[in-house]
Chain A
Amino acid sequence: MANVNENEMIQLEHVSKIYPTGQKAITQLDLTIGRGEFVLLEGESGAGKTTLLDLLLKDTEPTEGTIRVNGIDTGRLKKRQIYRYRRMFGVVFQDFKLFSDFTVYENVAFALRVSETAPEKIRGKVLEALREVGLERKAKLYPGQLSGGECQRAAVARAIVNQPAILLADEPTGNLDRKNAMEVMWLLHRINEGGTTVLVVSHSQEILKNMKKRIITLQHGRIVKDSSRGGYFYGN
């Protein structure tokens, strides 16, 4: 039986993922991310970055291996427990995935409605999240009326409004200019300082260099570099 360390938020042991098409997305991956850590995940297209996020969200199942998140062995979760497990996460997407027919306020509130928060608490929490990302004055606008940077900040507000233990961001700066990208990364850094474990997929070398955080490099579904261990290493 594997050790469960309270300081570890995410632990993957010998995890592989082979899609039905035969494509190997992740191969024998071992990875540990500590509670409250900020980790940047980089790699070329097809390296397995998004698959790794999907595995953590239990949006896809590993072909083999064990995934443990916040002490929960995801392989033992029953189907009817998955929705509750996912409430541990906040997710930010590259293309924001805001609902165009909802205002900024409604988009953020939606995350609370989904998680069945008491209606009387919704307003306060939404306004607090919007204040945190600097969008409290744009609450009544629709996503189509916002800039790209503002959309992504709204998406971050939606992801953090439930105060998740883990924030996953899949290329959150991919559609943004340099200034907006740095603002979003600064926002994620602040959220991390509040104690949230943050895992960000990024392609941007500038971000990777400037953030001064742990960087994990994936290639063909394997970790080929982990800055916390210093330098390159191959195999797991």
Chain B
Amino acid sequence: MGIKTYRYLLLMGLKNLWKNKVYSMSTVVTMSVCIFLFSLFYATALNVDSAVQKTEEQISVLIFFEPGVTDQRIEEIGELIRQRPEVKETVYISAEDAWADFQSSVFPEEANLKGILNEDNPLENSDNYEVYLNRIKDQPSFVEFAEGLEGVRSVKHSTDAVNALVKLENVITSVVMGMTGILIIISAVLIRNTLVVGIEAQREKTRVMRLMGAREAFVRIPFILEGIVMGLIGVAVPLAVFWFSYRWGADFMSKEFHLFQDGIRLIPLGRLYPRMVRACVLLGAGVGVTGSLFAMHKLKDKKSRTAS
């Protein structure tokens, strides 16, 4: 079929949509609500994921060495750690660095300690590797590995924080996936039902088309396009609403919670929106096509007539 035939079929689909406008409208509105809810869940998931990533960047595992371990062994341990795929960055902190860091953070006035501790370093034997991991959930296996290394005295890590973050991320991901599944089903069933109403209303027309020698594609494409158009409108509306809501929400958060600005700042709209558009368009088109395909079996020519 040529491009002009497809254009004609698209117009037929739009005409069907208009003829069936009450059902089409209610489907688009319900679908818009579903997709808007999805966009909220998805935005929440992305923001939680971003917050978790930020936290991951700050959480490290500290590896301390046995007293008297040689510098060569410390370097070997460093090499073994760096070879691990889950390791993002390793920083070696000597006992002197640790003590200097402690003094500067707890007693900024260095003079206060002079003469009290003389040149003694209370953090002697505190040489350590500060290890940053790519994903926080890899921490338990890495800790187990580090604890098994010869020359390692202890491994300090934040199991509770890790577990809480991983759990939170998992819960949010599961909720988003579950809600997405439910919304897809609701929207697809709605589109299917609307199309079935249209198909039933045009059963005679499709029969005449077939008797005229229409290809199956010619009969079906207007209905499929109708479903896709409903899906796309059902996506465009919530995406527009989301744009304004999120912008308002981000402004509100930064003004009202400015004290915690760094902790709860939302992902900028410019960075989040392209992902949101992709996800919603895929969802809308997918729902439209799925609903249309479910409705297609109704297009089969039913012959229950008797002889005349």
A interface with B by C-beta (< 8 Å): 17, 19, 21, 23-26, 45-51, 54, 57, 59-60, 83-87, 89, 91, 93, 97, 99, 101, 110-111, 113-116, 119, 162, 221
Contact = CB atoms under 8 A, between A and B. Distances in A.
Given A99-B205, A101-B19, A51 B307 contact: yes
Nearest to A17: B307
Nearest to A45: B308
Interface string B1-33: 110110010000001000100000000000000
Interface stretch (B97-105, B178-186, B212-220): B212-220
B211 interface: yes
B153 to A, nearest CB: 76
Given A86-B210, A91-B212, A114-B218, A221 B307 contact: yes
B225 to A, nearest CB: 15
Contact of B213 (A47, A60, A87, A221): A87
Contacts of B218: 114, 116
Listed residue (B5, B212, B216) with the most chain A CB atoms within 10 angstroms of its CB = B212
Contacts of A45: 308
12 contacts: A17-B307, A45-B308, A83-B213, A86-B213, A89-B211, A89-B213, A91-B212, A113-B5, A113-B8, A114-B212, A115-B214, A116-B215
A210 to B, nearest CB: 24
A17 B303 CA distance: 13
A155 B24 CA distance: 31
B79 interface: no
Contacts of A25: 306-307
B37 to A, nearest CB: 36
B214 A114 contact: yes
B282 interface: no
Contact of A50 (B2, B213, B308): B308
Report the interface size class on chain B. Answer: 20 to 34
Q: Which 5 A-B pairs have the closest CB atoms?
A: A25-B307, A87-B213, A86-B213, A114-B214, A50-B308
B301 interface: yes
Contacts of B8: 113
Given A26-B307, A50-B307, 14 more contacts: A23-B306, A45-B308, A48-B308, A51-B308, A57-B211, A60-B303, A83-B213, A85-B213, A86-B210, A86-B211, A97-B204, A97-B208, A101-B19, A114-B212
A89 B214 CA distance: 12
Contact of B215 (A49, A83, A91, A110): A83
Nearest to A51: B307
Listed residue (B4, B15, B208, B211) with the most chain A CB atoms within 10 angstroms of its CB = B211
A188 B289 CA distance: 44
Contacts, number: 76
A73 B2 CA distance: 30
B149 interface: no
B209 interface: yes
Nearest to A93: B208
Contacts of A119: 2, 4
Interface in B225-270: none
A23 B307 contact: yes
B268 to A, nearest CB: 49
Contacts of A47: 307-308
A46 B208 contact: no
Nearest to B305: A50
Nearest to B216: A83
B19 to A, nearest CB: 7
Contacts of B214: 83, 114-115
Contacts of A87: 212-213
A59 B306 contact: no
Given A97-B204, A114-B218, A119-B4, A83 B210 contact: yes
A114 B210 CA distance: 9
B238 to A, nearest CB: 31
B161 to A, nearest CB: 63
Listed residue (A45, A59, A89) with the most chain B CB atoms within 10 angstroms of its CB = A59
Contact of B306 (A46, A84, A111): A46
A111 B212 contact: yes
Contacts of B306: 19, 21, 23, 25, 46
